Amino acid sequence: MPRILLTGAGGGIGTRLRQMLPAIYPKLRLSDLVAPPDLGGNEHFMAADLADAAQTDAICKDIDGIIHLGGYSVEGPWQPILQSNIIGAHNLFESARRQGVNRVIFASSNHAVGFYPRHHRIGNDVQPRPDGRYGVSKVFGEALGSLYADKYGLKVTCLRIGNFGDQPIDQRRLSIWLHPDDLVQLIRIGLEHPAIHFEVLYGASNNERSWWDNHRAHDLGYRPQHRAEDYRDHALAEQAKLPADQVADFYQGGSFCAMEYAGDGSRIWS
């Protein structure tokens, strides 16, 4: 069985994957800054600061594939994003190369393309339009993945994750929702599919309102099992409770676009 490293094991997505992946990848190594408080006795954990190259070397040793979720997971100040998401991503890819890792799944984000309007349907090859410093760090990670695939032979899959959870909780998430089961399916494609060289795929379930053309994931065998429209009434009822926001409601990135927004308001129309 392949030996898999999961970074960011203490985060929201990482915590859920800790429950789901061991049945598929029994040789699963977990890593984060500190051990999760509910760490089980049968779980193999190694603490690491991604900004420290020696520590990323250590967690990548004797590993076949990496699911890289680690880093600063929301919009925030430049310095923590720089350390965790940019320096940390570089260290992780470089350690993977040095340690002979075969495959890397990089958790990118819809925020790498958040400044596309919602009425634009976009593919995986569009020009990046990040909606904040966090989004910029995800664009950087995708570029690193491309470089390490082409120059060093790593097999890299970047997943532009929408909104991860058991159900969509508002109108925007009806377009970008990703069920945990469907994420696991995408992870298995990235770690196992023989055709992987470098791919950018959208992390989204079967969403009729999707803004994304995810045909490449389908070409690789992705068949999402969960439908956002099954939760439509609840999501729209929750949306009705939220205040309108001209910027957030226009762009795909939602509130990330509205933060600190001082752009050209004439670009926004209904």
Per residue in 197-234, pLDDT (tens digit) is: 999 999 999 999 999 999 999 999 999 999 999 999 99
Domains, the chain: 4-267 (3.40.50.720)
- The CA-to-CA distance between both ends of the chain, in Å, stands at 52
Report the C-alpha gap between 69 and 10 in whole angstroms: 10
Average pLDDT (118-136) is: 97
Report the C-alpha gap between 91 and 204 in whole angstroms: 28
Confidence of residue 269 (pLDDT cuts 50, 70, 90): low
On the question of pLDDT at 1 being above 80, the answer is: no
As given in the structure block, the two tokens for residue 206 are 């079967």
Q: From the candidates 25, 72, 116, 134, give the one annotated as an active-site residue.
A: 134
Per residue in 43-81, pLDDT (tens digit) is: 999 999 999 999 999 999 999 999 999 999 999 999 999
Write down the pLDDT at residue 60. 98
47-52, long-range: CB < 8 A, 24+ apart: 48/7, 50/7, 50/83, 50/84, 50/87, 50/88, 50/89, 50/91, 50/92, 51/83, 51/84, 51/87, 51/88, 51/91, 52/91
Residue 134 is a catalytic residue: yes
pTM listed for this prediction: 0.97
Write down the pLDDT at residue 270. 43
As given in the structure block, the two tokens for residue 79 are 């310095």
Neighbours of 151 (CB within 10 A): 9
Per residue in 232-259, pLDDT (tens digit) is: 999 999 999 999 999 999 999 999 999 9
